[in-house]
């Protein structure tokens, strides 16, 4: 019986390992650490405490409630290097995709691209910048911009 329970726990933990912990207590405790072990521990912590749903509903525990920001964050998880390249140039398919995911109007896309290019060093301060850190920096930049803040409100 103990082996069956241990197997179920390991199976549950391994399936959670492939889900992005993103936010919640687990993500906050293990933030900034890379590799499979911190990822599994963050997902497992969130699974044990069941706090991620609460965080997403209330916008606490590091969770974003804005659906367009969540879409951008998921895109950044898979395309961070390409986004960084396009952002450094101020144009490109991946930067355009971010604008579309955030719902940035055509009329505001030039300013959006310029803002991100001009602040590239604050979005990507080093080569180890994670997608969560980059998304947080982008949201902060947009929130401070009078014309673009409506896209992350």
CB atoms near residue 89 (< 10 Å): 12
pTM score, whole prediction: 0.61
pLDDT of residue 116: 97
Phi, psi of 9, deg, nearest 5: -65, -45
Does residue 18 or residue 60 have the better pLDDT?
A: 60
| pLDDT for the residue numbered 65 | 61
Phi, psi of 66 (to 5 degrees): -75, 120
Q: What does the pLDDT look like over 29-76, one tens digit per residue?
A: 777 777 777 777 777 777 777 666 566 555 666 765 677 888 888 888
pLDDT of residue 2: 58
Higher pLDDT among residues 16 and 59, named by residue: 59
Q: How far apart are CA 111 and CA 113, in angstroms?
A: 5
State residue 19's pLDDT score: 44
pLDDT digit string (tens) for 101-147?
999 999 999 999 999 999 999 999 998 888 888 988 999 999 999 99
Rounded to the nearest angstrom, the gap between the alpha carbon of residue 38 and the centroid of all alpha carbons in its chain is 16
**pLDDT tens column, 70-95:** 888 888 888 999 999 999 999 999 99
pLDDT band at 13 (very low <50, low <70, confident <90, very high): very low
Q: Quote the CA–CA distance of 148 and 115 in Å, as a whole number.
A: 10
Q: Is the pLDDT of residue 14 over 50?
A: no
Sign of the torsion formed by the C-alpha atoms of 78, 80, 85 and 91: positive
* pLDDT, position 5: 59
pLDDT value of residue 18: 43
Give the residue extent of every domain in the chain.
2-18+32-152
Q: How far apart are the first and last CA of the chain?
A: 51
């Amino acid at each position: 019986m103990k082996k069956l329970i241990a197997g179920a726990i390991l199976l549950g933990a391994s399936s959670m390992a492939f889900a992005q912990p993103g936010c919640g207590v687990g993500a906050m405790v293990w933030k900034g650490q890379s590799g499979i072990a911190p990822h599994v521990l963050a997902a497992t912590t969130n699974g044990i405490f069941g706090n991620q749903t609460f965080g997403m509903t209330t916008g606490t525990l590091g969770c974003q409630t804005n659906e367009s920001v969540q879409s951008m964050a998921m895109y950044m998880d898979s395309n961070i290097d390409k986004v960084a390249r396009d952002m450094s140039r101020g144009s490109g398919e991946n930067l355009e995709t971010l604008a579309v995911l955030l719902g940035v109007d055509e009329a505001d896309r030039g300013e959006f691209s310029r803002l991100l290019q001009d602040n590239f060093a604050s979005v990507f301060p080093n080569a180890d910048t994670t997608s969560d850190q980059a998304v947080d920096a982008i949201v902060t930049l947009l929130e401070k911009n009078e014309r673009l803040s409506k896209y992350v409100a």
